[in-house]
Structure 1
Amino acid sequence: MLGAYLPIILLVVVAVGFGLVSITLSTLIGPKKPSLVKMSPYECGCEPVGSARERFSIKFYIIAMLFILFDIEAVFLYPWAVVFKKFIASGFGTFVFVEMMVFIVILFVGYIYVWKKGALEWE
């Protein structure tokens, strides 16, 4: 029984080992010449201005959650579309199609609700 999981365990061991060896080697043989300029935060070529603890607008998080929601919809649609032809051949095509349309309608109603609430407006 354990033999079936051996490739997965081996992959996890190799992945963790590679990560640990990479970090250890970069720490041991990497250059160590810190300076004030090298240790300063850097983002997009702009000089850091203000506090790093600045608060984000809630709109940012709402847009991010909506992106994840509709991205998950696409993740569910692709495998369904791949096997849909098999369901048609087996006689369950209508049922599977109606179920997916219910899923899409629920997401579409959520999209309309979010749109009407103005969550997609960036100010």
Structure 2
Amino acid sequence: MTDLSQYLPIFIFLAIALALSAIIVFLPMGVAHLTGSAKPNADKLSEYECGFPAFEDPRSQFDVRFYLVAILFIVFDLEAAFLFPWAVSLDLTGWAGWGTMMVFLGELAIGLAYAWKKGALDWE
């Protein structure tokens, strides 16, 4: 027969983790309910991210420029994410790493020029 007291620290850890998880999940909901921020009105239900009303006919056409700008932002944000580790490790990668990054930056510059020429960056 095993001694179950050896598992007591694990049970305490799990109980604390469960309590903290419940607090993190339910406390903001309770505060929102008590402060009245959960009560909807016209301003809270209006569109603020996508640029078009969300409660329309789902088959209606909409402007895709918002999504093009968002995709371009993600592409160039990833470029910045790749530049920092490259710059830090440039002494290890040497000329091969420098050349590879210049090819990568050249491809991105060609893509930016193409998007600019096509008018993907224009917002009317």
What TM-score, normalized by structure 1, do the two folds share? 0.61
Q: Does 1:69 align with 2:75?
A: yes
1:115 aligned partner, one-letter code: W
SS at match of 2:42: coil
With the length of structure 2 as denominator, give the TM-score of the two structures. Answer: 0.60
Cα distance in 1, alignment partners of residues 62 and 23 from structure 2: 36
1:39 aligns with 2:44: no
Q: Residue 47 of structure 2 corresponds to which residue in structure 1?
A: none
TM-superposed CA distance for 1:23, in Å, is 4.0
Aligned to 2:55: 53
Partner amino acid for 1:66?
L
1:9-52 per-position Cα deviation (integer Å, ceiling 9, x unaligned) = x9xx577444224246437x8256x8xxx531326xxxxxxx55
Q: What's the CA shift for 1:115?
A: 1.0
Q: Distance in 1 between matches of 2:114 and 2:78?
A: 18
Aligned pair count?
95
Q: Report deviation, 1:73.
A: 0.3
Gaps of 5+ in 2: 1-13, 45-52
TM-aligned CA distance change 1:16 to 1:79, over 3 Å: farther
CA distance in 2, matches of 1:31, 1:118: 45
Structure 1 pair 93–61 and aligned structure 2 pair: CA distance change class (3 A): same
Structure 1, residues 36-76: CA drift from partner, whole Å, max 9, x if none? xx531326xxxxxxx55367521111111101110110011
Higher relative contact order (CA 8 A, sep 6+): 1
2:86 corresponding residue in structure 1: 80
What is the CA distance between 1:120 and its match in structure 2?
1.1
- The 1:21–1:99 alpha-carbon spacing in structure 2 relative to 1, beyond 3 Å, is same
Question: What is the aligned partner in structure 2 of residue 93 from structure 1?
Answer: 94
What one-letter code is carried by the residue in structure 2 that aligns with 1:22? L
The alignment partner of 1:39 has SS state of: coil
Equivalent of residue 31 in structure 2, options 5, 26, 35:
26
Q: 1:118 & 1:31 partners in 2: Cα distance? A: 45
RMSD after superposition: 3.0
